[in-house]
């Protein structure tokens, strides 16, 4: 089981597919091949409706000896137009005016690859920010009627393993920076990070059961950097979750330095056999791949 915020996004539609179809190396492929996960979440991967880029990506990692034949990806909120001036710059249609930041629809979405079949359990990506429990959306926010909480997506997906179904809960939250004193991104990041906590607590409907793993990019360190850090601390302290890699940094940024933003958090019924962080190869970006080996609950 692994989560990776590798840089598989480009600034125009079709550019990722172009790069994947070339014979040139694609930074990040080697990192994934070295980790060899059986289930992989990518939290910065461009979406296209025909999954052409995702198929090309599967072909590239298969050529490196890693066969993950099953995939799951829905259209993310990134780049989805709203028709509003959400960032207050006096113009509409910019990347910050979309449901989630994006220069085009689908930029920097999420994708799951797996050794076993995948089926959707719950998609919380359309949930409005104002409707989230304990929402920090400002009363004067420009988009209360249509602003979704999820920057990219919040999916609960079943992986149909030979031992039984495993529920995987994904997240790719907005960075809690790149705004002004109103701290819109910081407040939204906090509410995104806490959404699966509300789900586990039964505050969004029926309380889920069975073995599960919460994984993805919270874009939030519980101890360092900007953002409402207590949200990450609440996730790590949740009684149903265990943390196999406490205090291990997962990214090296220029300026802020090392921070922990990517997580793989299994529920406590799992036995953790091993866990680690795989550094990226050269030119693959600042993020490290986070992996956890698990024994299926008895």
Q: Which residues contact 245 (CB under 8 A, 6 or more apart)?
A: 264, 275, 276, 277, 290, 292
Q: Could you report the per-residue pLDDT of 171-204, keeping only the tens digit for each? A: 999 999 999 889 999 999 999 999 999 999 999 9
- The model's confidence at residue 86, banded by pLDDT at 50, 70 and 90, is very high
Query: Is 100 in contact with 78 (CB distance < 8 Å)?
Result: yes
* pLDDT attached to residue 206: 86
CB atoms within 10 A of CB 10: 18
**Residue 258 domain boundaries:** 2-295
Residue 40: give its domain's CATH number: 3.60.10.10
Q: Could you report the per-residue pLDDT of 220-238, keeping only the tens digit for each? A: 999 999 999 999 999 999 9
Q: How far apart (Å, rounded) are the C-alpha atoms in residues 30 and 172?
A: 22
Query: Is 292 in contact with 11 (CB distance < 8 Å)?
Result: no
Nearest to 3 by CA among 276, 285, 208, 252: 276
Domains held by the chain: number:
1
* pLDDT attached to residue 269: 94
* pLDDT attached to residue 37: 98
- The model's confidence at residue 78, banded by pLDDT at 50, 70 and 90, is very high
Q: Does residue 136 surpass a pLDDT of 90?
A: yes
Q: Could you report the per-residue pLDDT of 6-24, keeping only the tens digit for each? A: 999 999 999 999 999 999 9
Looking at the whole model, is its pTM more than 0.95?
yes
């Amino acid at each position: 089981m692994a989560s990776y915020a590798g840089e598989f996004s480009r600034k125009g539609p079709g550019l990722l597919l172009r790069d994947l179809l070339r014979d040139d190396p694609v930074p990040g492929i080697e990192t994934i091949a070295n980790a060899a996960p059986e289930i992989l979440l990518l939290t910065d991967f461009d979406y296209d409706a025909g999954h052409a880029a995702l198929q090309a990506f599967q072909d590239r990692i298969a050529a490196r000896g890693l066969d993950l034949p099953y995939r799951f990806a829905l259209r993310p909120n990134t780049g989805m137009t709203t028709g509003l001036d959400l960032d207050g710059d006096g113009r509409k249609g910019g990347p910050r005016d979309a449901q989630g930041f994006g220069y085009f629809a689908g930029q920097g979405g999420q994708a799951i690859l797996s050794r076993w079949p995948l089926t959707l359990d719950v998609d919380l990506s359309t949930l409005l920010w104002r409707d989230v429990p304990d929402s920090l959306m400002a009363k004067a926010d420009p988009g209360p009627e249509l602003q979704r909480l999820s920057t990219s997506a919040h999916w609960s997906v079943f992986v149909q393993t030979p031992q039984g179904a495993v529920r995987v809960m994904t997240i790719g939250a907005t960075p809690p920076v790149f705004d002004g004193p109103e701290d819109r991104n910081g407040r939204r990041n906090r509410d995104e990070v806490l959404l699966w906590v509300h789900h586990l607590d039964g505050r969004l409907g029926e309380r889920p059961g069975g073995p599960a793993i919460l994984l993805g990019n919270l874009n939030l360190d519980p101890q360092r950097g900007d953002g409402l850090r207590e949200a990450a601390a609440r996730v790590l302290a949740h009684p149903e979750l265990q943390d196999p890699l406490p205090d291990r940094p997962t990214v090296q940024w220029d300026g802020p330095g090392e921070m922990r933003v990517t997580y793989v958090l299994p529920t406590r019924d799992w036995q953790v056999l091993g866990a680690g962080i795989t550094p990226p190869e050269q030119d693959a970006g600042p993020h490290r791949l986070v992996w956890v080996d698990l024994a299926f609950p008895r």
